Structure formats: C-alpha cells, structure tokens
Amino acid sequence: MKYVIGVVRLILTGIVALLLVLVLAGCTVGPKYVKPTVPTTPSYKEEAPASFKESDQWQPAKPEDQTSHGKWWEIFGDPELNRLEEQIAGSNQNLKVAEARFREARAAIRFNRASQFPTISTAPSASYVKSSDFSPNFPSKIQQSSKGDFVLPFDLSYELDLWGRVRRSVAAAREEAQATAADYETAKLSLEAELALDYFELRSADAQKQLLDDTVKAYTDNLQLTVNRFKGGVAPKADVAQAQTQLDTTRVQDTDVTVQRAQFEHAIATLIGKPPAEFSLPTTPLNYQPPSTPTGLPSQLLQRRPDIAAAERRVAEANQQIGIARAAYFPTVTLGGTAGFAGSQGSNWFGWPSGFWAVGPALAETLFDAGRRRATSESARANYDAAVGTYRQTSLTAFQEVEDNLAALRILENEAQQQKEAVASSKDSLQLFTNRYKGGVDTYLQVITAETIELANERNAIDILRRQMDASVLLVKALGGGWDVSNLPTFGASSVRDY
C-alpha cells in the first residue's frame, strides 16, 4: 500500500512540474529577431531601391508571358537543353552533397527537439557477491558471507526550460535547416545556369565551326582561281602564295574550334553525372534570339534569391545563439526521478516490497567562471553582426548582378544591330574587291584583306549572340530562376518528426 501511495505522489509531482513548465513557457531570455534592412540608403530605412537602374532603358516585351516558375530554361525553347537540365537534379554529385547536407541539418532539428522531452533510461543488473570470512572491521561470525543483488531501475531526467535555452536551440536548428535548404537551391540554380552557359558556348562553337568550314571551302575555291589565273599568266605567283597562306591559317582556326567544343561537351557530361566517354551532342549551330526576362522590382529580388534567403535565415539562427548564450547566466533546473525493483534473490525481485522510488528537482548555477559566459555572449553577438553583414553584402551583390546583366543585354542588343550592319558592309566590300580582282583592276591582296575583315565580322556576330545568351542565363540566375522564399521547407514546432 505504501508503494502505491508513493507512485501516486510521483505522478502528482510530475503533474506539478508540468504545470510549472507551462506557466514559465513564455519566459525566454535574449533579443527578439527582427529582419535586418538592406543598406541601399545611408540611413538603412529602405528595404530596396524603387527600381533597377538599367531596367529604365531595357524593357522586355510581354514579360508576363515569359515568367518562369522553376524550369526557367524552357524560356529558350530548346528541347535538347530542356532534356539536359532535367538530368541535373538526379545525377549531379555536387548537388547530392548539398542534399545530404540538408538532410543532416534536418536531423539536427530532431536531435535538439528531443531535449524538450524527458529522458528515460534503465540499467538492470544481477550479481551475487561472496565476501571473505576474514574481512576487517567485522567479526566473522556476524558478517554476512554472501548476498544477492537483483536491480531493475528506471531513471527519468528532464530539464525545465525556464529560460528558453532548449526552445532557442530547436529554433536555431530549424533556421539552419532552412538555410541549408536554400543552399541546396543555390547550388542547383548555379549548376543549371552553368549547364546552360556551357550549352550555349558549345552551340556557339558549332556556329563558328560551320562558318569556318564554309570559309575553308570558299578559300579553297579562291586558291584554285588564283592557280588558274597564274597558269594563264594573268596573276603573279605571289597571289597563289597569299591564297595558300590564307587557306592554311583558316584551317588552323577551324581545327582549334573543335578543341573548345570538346571541352564544353565534356563539361556538360560531368554536370549531368556522366563520364565524357559516354556522352555526345549532335552538332547544331547557335541560332537563337535572347528571350524576354521580366525583372520585377528590387524588393521582390530579396524574396527570389535562395542565397539571400540562406543568409537571412543564418542571421535568425545567430540571433537565437545570443539567447542561448544569455540563458547560461540563469540557473538550470532539472527534474529527476528513479523507480524500480531491487531484491536479494530472483524469487523476490518483482514483489511489491522490493519496489523503490525517488523524485526531486535539482538546481545548478555557475557562481564563477572567470568570464567564460561573457566571452560566449560576446562571441554570439559578434557572430550575429557578421551574419547581418553577410546578408547585406549578399543582397548588394544580387542587385549588382541584375544591373550588370541588364546593362549587358541592353548594350549587346545595340551592338548586335551594329554588327549586323558591319557584316552586310563587309560582304558588299568583299564582293566588290572580288569582282575588281577578276577584272584585273585590283591585286589579290585587296581580296584577302576584304575576306579577313568579312570573316572577323561574321565570327564577331556569332560571339555577340553567344554573349547575349550568356547574359540572359546570368540574368535569370541573378533573379533567382523562378525560386521564391515561400519554397523554403517548414518544420513544425510541436512535432517530434519532420517530413
């Protein structure tokens, strides 16, 4: 009967302790988190500038029609690029590393959340001890020579989170997991953009190769023309030498392009997780128009960049660490209890008289630590300041990247039009000098000069188009690639398990 009364008292004590926890649940020391502002003005009063500087001079047509939601690469309208991009998520090894880091951070939430619940343990034991009849201090006649000891204990330990240390630890783990999820999205976006850049570089090499192949064929015909004119006594041997030199030089350029193409093809294979020996792409010259990409407002950029989201979540985590360091100044209250059975032999191990229990709180407070807690608190505040600086710098860099690529697209659009006119002029000039050479008016040197200028303009036109495509990819990347902060995973504050 006494044992039953003891168990009831144990239960009542636990209820009282639980009520105490509920009453004090709102007592959390440390600063409340406030999202830092972005330093776009000296007073830091504005979250972001009203508009992008370059967007006033570059307006995409029908931006809403081109809005990307996740699969941003589809705005380029290339089925082969779409097929390659789809393979990154499941095959790229660097992305698998980032995904594993996220799962590690998610598991840390459950680890820290376990401190919100009691720890129950047991360590059953059974032993039989035979004492020596000649042990000191006791006459051998009254000393028990042997005894049995059978114990089945259950120990309970629970820290009352009076100052919010445990709650802040769980919150910090949640924020780190969200930051790691954003890191994963940043890595994914970077790899997708890298693949698109390599793909357009490869297609540019295909276009250069096609142009040089056609040029080599044209120069071969010109060489034959000069040979025929030389044999007919119309042209000097110097024209043949010049034509041969020009042809050989262009063949070298034609061969050199294949080296660049092979390297970009190998890079694409690695990005999609395949050995270069098992991957190849058919030749398709670059023939695109840069897509219209809506930029939105700078204030929206802060919500659309996963790297900005990761930096902001780590500011929140650093803020939690300040509260954790502050909680170390207050006493720790732990509720402990033990209950079980103990007997001298197996037959009376589980009888009611063999039962035992004990329960009671324990308080621990550090009275002197030579400044250790103060140093920890100062370190936490310094880490918070560093996290704020990283967040603001990441935001500024994001604004810069958008402005850079908006400027590049605007300027390259004008440059492409100018280059188009230059190509047309060089073709007309080449045709003029070719006709004058055939008519015996000009030397072949004039034709070679015109051909060199025309080839340089053709190649430059291809290169400008490549730069336009690269700037389009980098602009999409700078805008977050269709990602949004609402895509961050959420972790329930009261659930033991996470998705």
CATH topology identical between 1-30+123-160+333-364 and 32-118+164-330+371-487: no
Residue 235 has pLDDT above 80, yes or no: yes
Q: Report residue 249's pLDDT band, with 50, 70 and 90 as the boundaries.
A: very high
- Most confident listed range (173-182, 234-243, 299-308): 173-182
pLDDT at residue 67, rounded to an integer? 40
Q: What is the mean pLDDT of residues 12-31?
A: 58
Nearest to 313 by CA among 380, 397, 398, 387: 387
* Torsion angle in degrees (nearest 10) through CA of 378, 383, 386, 390: -160
- Min mean pLDDT across 136-145, 202-211, 231-240 is at 136-145
Separation of alpha carbons 102 and 182, rounded Å: 9
Span of 69-78, 261-270, 368-377, 378-387 with lowest mean pLDDT = 69-78
- Higher-pLDDT residue of 280, 490: 280
> What average pLDDT does this structure show over 470-483?
91
Spans of all domains in the chain: 1-30+123-160+333-364, 32-118+164-330+371-487
pLDDT higher than threshold 50 for residue 423: yes
> What pLDDT was estimated at residue 291?
85
Instruction: Tell me the average pLDDT across 166-171.
Output: 93
pLDDT of 274 above 90: yes
What per-residue confidence (pLDDT) applies to 350?
Answer: 73
Which of 52, 101, 464, 84 shows the shortest CA–CA distance to 296? 52
Q: Which of 239-243, 316-320, 344-348, 444-448 comes out lowest in average pLDDT?
A: 344-348
H/E/C letters for each residue in the chain?
CHHHHHHHHHHHHHHHHHHHHHHCCCCCCCCCCCCCCCCCCCCCCCCCCCCCCHHHCCCCCCHHHHCCCCCHHHHHCCHHHHHHHCCHHHHCHHHHHHHHHHHHHHHHHHHHHHHHCCEEEECCEEEEEECCCCCCCCCCCCCCCEEEEEEEEEEEEEEECCCCHHHHHHHHHHHHHHHHHHHHHHHHHHHHHHHHHHHHHHHHHHHHHHHHHHHHHHHHHHHHHHHHHHHCCCCCHHHHHHHHHHHHHHHHHHHHHHHHHHHHHHHHHHHCCCCHHHCCCCCCCCCCCCCCCCCCCHHHHHHHCHHHHHHHHHHHHHHHHHHHHHHCCCCEEEEEEEEEEEECCHHHCCCHHHEEEEEEEEEECCCCCCCHHHHHHHHHHHHHHHHHHHHHHHHHHHHHHHHHHHHHHHHHHHHHHHHHHHHHHHHHHHHHHHHHHHCCCCCHHHHHHHHHHHHHHHHHHHHHHHHHHHHHHHHHHHCCCCCCHHHCCCCCCCCCCCC
Mean pLDDT of 407-428: 94
Confidence (pLDDT) at 61: 33
Question: What is the separation of C-alpha 50 from the centre of its chain, rounded to a whole number of angstroms?
Answer: 28
Give 213's contacts (C-beta < 8 A, 6+ positions apart).
254
pLDDT category at 426 given cuts 50, 70, 90 is very high
pLDDT band with cut points at 50, 70 and 90 for residue 60: very low
CATH for 32-118+164-330+371-487 is 1.20.1600.10
Checking if the pLDDT of 427 tops 60, the result is: yes
**Residue 159 carries which DSSP code?**
E
Contact of 38 with 311, CB cutoff 8 Å: no
Cα–chain center distance at 438: 62
Highest-confidence range of 68-82, 122-136, 209-223, by mean pLDDT?
209-223
Highest mean pLDDT among 354-363, 424-433, 476-485 belongs to: 424-433
| Whether CATH 2.20.200.10 fits 1-30+123-160+333-364 | yes
Task: Name which residue leads in pLDDT, 54 or 405.
Answer: 405
Would you say the pTM of this structure is higher than 0.85?
no
Q: Which residue has the higher pLDDT, 212 or 47?
A: 212
pLDDT at 179 over 60: yes
Percent of the chain residues topping a pLDDT of 70: 82
**pLDDT tens digit string along 328-366?**
999 998 888 888 888 776 667 777 778 888 888 888 998
Q: Are 223 and 247 in contact (CB under 8 A)?
A: yes
Going by pLDDT thresholds of 50, 70 and 90, the confidence category of residue 1 is very low
Mean pLDDT for the chain overall: 84
Instruction: Tell me the CA end-to-end span of the chain in Å, nearest whole number.
Output: 47
